[in-house]
Amino acid sequence: MRDIYQIDLNLLIVFQRIYEEHQISVVARQLGLSQPAVSNALSRLRRTLDDELFVRTTNGMQPTPRARQLADPVNLALQQITQALNSEDDFDAAQSKRPFTIAMTDVGEVYFMPVLTAELGLQAPGLQINTVRASSVDLKSEMESGRIDLAIGAFDDLSDAWYQRRLFRQQYVCMMRREHPLATEKLELREFLSARHLLVMSQEEPYLKINQALTKAGIHGNAHFQVPHFVAVPYIVSTSDLLVTVPQKLAERAATPFGLVFRKPPLRLPSLQTHIFWHRRYHQDAGNQWLREFIFQRFSEA
């Protein structure tokens, strides 16, 4: 069996033209080559395929049985290659069934996914959106491989490596149940430090920085309860007198359904800048571009 990698695509173009025109001079003129160059290409193809392919007659270059056998497959292959190279990368969101994988934190899932499931269900009902927890994968490796299409969050370790677009900046707030004794007034530092706290000991960046700031302020002494993620936080706080410090977007989503309120904390805490990230392999991909713009239009506060 002959190795296709040994065959120059240009030789197949010469083969196709000779089969159609039967004249070396005509083919040379059509391809912008000299006649010796076309003859040399034919010689190379003859050696590769171990067949004369075309023989000179009074009626021009006539194909051998082997050339006749190859003609239709070669013509079809060249047509398909030409179509592929000249076709635009179209993406019809309304008809597409393409799967997309988005990496985000648990807070991101709470904030983004309700909107995405509702609006994509109307505008792009066939799309498949899968989320993966950003902290559970090697984000850089997965995006480089193409297994993850987008990442949404405040990922400092990606900021210099990939394309990005800012969605919004958010602050941390102190969240509590609506009937909490501190819910009706401005939070003072003394009250904040003396209250009982729920701490989210997330290992995801950038939440570690917030825990460090809370520890420095002395919160850990009154942190009687700790959880490793944010998903359970609204359930716990809504049935207790615990305070919890969370990203504002989470508090906004949880406030009404869980009967919660949130206040500005009496501490200076770093803000979160949330971006959408993508690898350069998807930078010009029409589907990825569409989804990026869809997300940006709905969540950007820039």
Per-residue model confidence as pLDDT tens digits over 113-150: 999 999 999 999 999 999 998 888 888 889 988 999 99
**Cβ pair 241, 131 in contact under 8 A:** no
SS3 147: coil
Domain boundaries, the chain: 4-86, 99-169+273-299, 172-270
Q: Tell me the one-letter amino acid at 291.
A: L
| pLDDT band of 223, cuts 50, 70, 90 | confident
CATH topology of domain 172-270: D-Maltodextrin-Binding Protein; domain 2 (3.40.190)
Q: Give start and end residues of each alpha helix (H) in 136-267.
A: 139-145, 189-194, 207-217, 233-237, 248-258
In angstroms, what CA-CA distances link 270 with 135, 199, 210? 20, 17, 7
69-120 pLDDT, tens digit each: 999 999 999 888 887 776 656 789 999 999 999 999 999 999 999 999 999 9
Assigned token pair, 169: 């900046």
- Predicted confidence at residue 159, as pLDDT, reads 65
According to the model, what pLDDT value does residue 87 have? 63
* Domain spanning 4-86, CATH class: mainly alpha
In whole angstroms, what is the distance from residue 282 CA to residue 175 CA? 38
Question: What are the pLDDT digits (tens) for 228-271?
Answer: 889 999 999 999 999 999 999 999 999 999 999 999 999 889 89
Q: Is 51 helix (H, G, I), strand (E, B) or coil?
A: coil
Confidence of residue 156 (pLDDT cuts 50, 70, 90): confident
What are the angstrom distances between the C-alpha of 97 and each of 87, 91, 101, 128? Answer: 20, 10, 13, 7
CATH code of 99-169+273-299, in short, is: 3.40.190.10
User: How many residues are given for the chain?
Assistant: 302
Residue by residue, DSSP assigns 209-241 as HHHHHHHHHTGGGGEEEEESSSTTHHHHHTTSS
- Fold matches, 4-86 and 172-270: no
pLDDT at 216 over 80: yes
For position 264, what pLDDT does the model report? 94
What pLDDT does residue 76 have?
Answer: 92
Q: What percent of the chain has pLDDT over 70?
A: 94
Q: How far apart are CA 292 and CA 288, in angstroms?
A: 6
Q: What pLDDT score does 137 carry? A: 87
